[in-house]
Amino acid sequence: ALCPAEEPVLLAELKPGRPQRYDWKSSCETWSVAFSPDGAWFAWSQGHCVVKLIPWPLREPELCKAPERKSRSSKAEARSRAVAKEKTLECGQIVWGLAFSAWPVAEEGDTDPACTVGLPCLILATGLNDGQIKVWEVQTGHLLFSLLGHQDVVRDLSFAPNGSLILVSASRDKTLRVWDLSRDGRQVQVLLGHVQWVYCCSISPDCSMLCSAAGEKSALLWSMRSYTLIRRLEGHQSSVVSCDFSPDSALLVTASYDACVIMWDPYTGEQLRTLRHVPLHSALDDSSEVHTSSLRSVCFSPEGLYLATVADDRLLRIWALELRSPVAFAPMTNGLCCMYFPHGGFIATGTRDGHVQFWTAPRVLSSLKHLCRKALRTFLTTYQVLALPIPRKLKEFLTYRTF
C-alpha cells in the first residue's frame, strides 16, 4: 500500500494581465490548462481571448512571485531562453479548450505548413467561443489552421497520443468532430449521440477508444478505429463533466456534478469503484457557509497510481488508486480544471478568476508489480487478460479488480 501523501504545496500562482480592450469582470475564467507531451511548455487559457504559452520550468522570479529581474545564467542558458520565450496567442474569441501535439519532422521536399525542414515542432489547438478551432505552431506563433464546422463553443480538445495528428473536438453543439491535420485539417467524422452540451473528450493512450462527457448522467465510449459508439457508461446521478484514461488505457474515470468519481473498466463497462467527495470539516475551511462538492475536473497521474480532482467545495484532492478516501488535500478557490505535469511531481489548476496555480504532487516509485501490470495492459485488453492461463488472483490484479 502507498504511504499517505504529503499535502500539496502551492509553488506559484500566475495572474492574467489587465487588457485594455476587454471587460475585466467578464470572460476571465481559466477553462483549460495544458502541458506539452515533452513537458517543455505550459499553455493557459487565461481569459480575455488570449492564450499564454510559458516555457517550463517556470523561471525563478515566477516561482518566487517576484518582479522579473535580469538573468545571470550562462551563455547556453541564455541561448535556450532566447529560443523559448513566453508567447501570447491572440485568438480573437474566448478560449475554452487546449491541446498540444508534436508535429513530425519535415523532410526535404515536404510542403509541410508547420515545420522547418529537419526540425521537430510543437502545435497547440485552441477551441473557441464561436465554434472555431485555431491550430498554432508554438515556436513561431504562426496560425496553421482554422477548422470550421462546430456551431457553438468548442469546450474541449484531445489529440491522439500516437502522433497521427488526429484531433477530436467536443462542443456545446452536442457533437464531437474528428479532424485529420495531416490532411490539411480535413473533418473526417461527426459523432452524434449526446443530447446535451459536450464538456469533455479524452482519447485513450493506446488510441483505441474515445470517451466523451456531456450534461447527461452517462458518458459515451467510442471506437477510434470505426468511430462508432461502443457503449454508454451509466451510473452517475447527475451531469458527467470530466473524464480521463489511465496511462495503460486499462482504466477510465468519470467525474460528475453528483460529487462522485467512478472508475470503470472501459473494455467491459464494469464499475470498479466509486470515489465520493464527502465534505471536509477541518481547519482548511473556517467558514460556516455550506459548499457543494460538484466536481469540475479529474485527471490521472503519469505513472497511473494517483488521481487529482477539483470540486466546488474549494479543495484540490489527491487520491491513491487502492484507497476510497483522499490521501491529500489543498485549499483552492473556484477551481475549474486540473492537469498533471507529464513527468510527475506537479499539478496545474485553473480557476474561475483567471488564475493558474502550480502545486506539488506526490512522487512515487512504482512497484515492480505495477510496472509489469502497466506494461502488459498497454497491449492486452481485459478480455485477453481473462483468457490467459494464469491464476485467478493474478487476473484480478491485472484487471484492477484488486489493487
pLDDT class of 229 with cuts at 50, 70, 90: very high
pLDDT class of 246 with cuts at 50, 70, 90: very high
Neighbour-count burial for 185-205, b at 16+ CB within 10 Å, e otherwise:
bebebebebbeebbbbbbbbb
E strand or H helix at 50, and its extent?
strand 50-55
Q: Is the pLDDT of residue 75 over 70?
A: no
Amino acid at 317: R
Confidence check: pLDDT of 273 > 60 = yes
3-state secondary structure string across 167-229: EEEEECCCCEEEEEHHHCCEEEEEECCCCCCEEEEEECCCCCEEEEEECCCEEEEEECCCCCE
Picking from 102-116, 154-168, 297-311, which range would have the lowest pLDDT averaged per residue?
A: 102-116
Q: In this structure, what C-alpha cell is assigned to residue 150?
A: 462546430
Q: What is the mean pLDDT of residues 189-195?
A: 95
Greater confidence, 69 or 212? 212
pLDDT digits (tens, 9 = 90+) for 15-57: 876 554 444 445 678 889 999 999 999 999 877 789 999 998 8
Instruction: State residue 68's pLDDT score.
Output: 39
The answer to whether the bond into 120 is cis (omega within 30° of 0) is: no
pLDDT at 300: 97
Residue 363 grid cell: 512522487
How many CB atoms are closer than 10 A to CB 370? 18
Amino acid at position 237, single letter: Q
Strand 335-340 and strand 346-351: the pairing is antiparallel
- What lies within 8 Å, CB to CB, of 190 at 6+ separation is 149, 175, 176, 177, 178
- Helix H or strand E encompassing 256: strand 252-256
Average pLDDT over residues 46-71: 65
- How far apart (Å, rounded) are the C-alpha atoms in residues 312 and 94? 22
User: In angstroms, what is the C-alpha Rg of the chain?
Assistant: 21
Which residue matches cell numbers 510496472? 371
Q: CB–CB of 92/21 below 8 Å?
A: no
> Going by C-beta distance under 8 Å and a sequence separation of 6 or more, which residues neighbour residue 228?
222
Number of H helices, E strands in the chain: 5, 28
Contact yes or no for 330/316 (Cβ under 8 A): yes
- Check residue 114 and give its pLDDT: 55
Its pTM stands at 0.88
Secondary structure E strands in 321-383: 328-331, 335-340, 346-351, 356-360
Question: Predicted confidence band at 85 (pLDDT cuts at 50, 70, 90)?
Answer: confident
The tens digit of pLDDT for each residue in 368-398 reads 999 999 999 999 999 999 999 999 999 999 9
Domain 10-16+24-57+85-104+119-280+290-365 has CATH 2.102.10.10: no
Mean pLDDT of the chain: 86
The Cα–Cα gap between 43 and 19 comes to: 18
Q: Label residue 67 by pLDDT band (50, 70, 90).
A: very low
Query: Do 314 and 351 contact (CB within 8 A), yes or no?
Result: no
Q: If you average pLDDT over residues 142-157, what whole number do you get? A: 96
What DSSP state is assigned to residue 117? Answer: B
Q: What are phi and psi of 298, to 5 degrees?
A: -140, 145
pLDDT value of position 196: 94
Question: What are the φ/ψ torsions at residue 223 (nearest 5 degrees)?
Answer: -85, 130
| 299 within 8 A of 318, measured Cβ to Cβ | no
Lowest-pLDDT range of 114-118, 233-237, 309-313, 359-363? 114-118
Q: For 298-321, how does the pLDDT look when each residue is reduced to its tens digit (9 = 90+)?
A: 999 999 999 999 998 889 999 998
> How is the chain split into domains, by residue range?
10-16+24-57+85-104+119-280+290-365
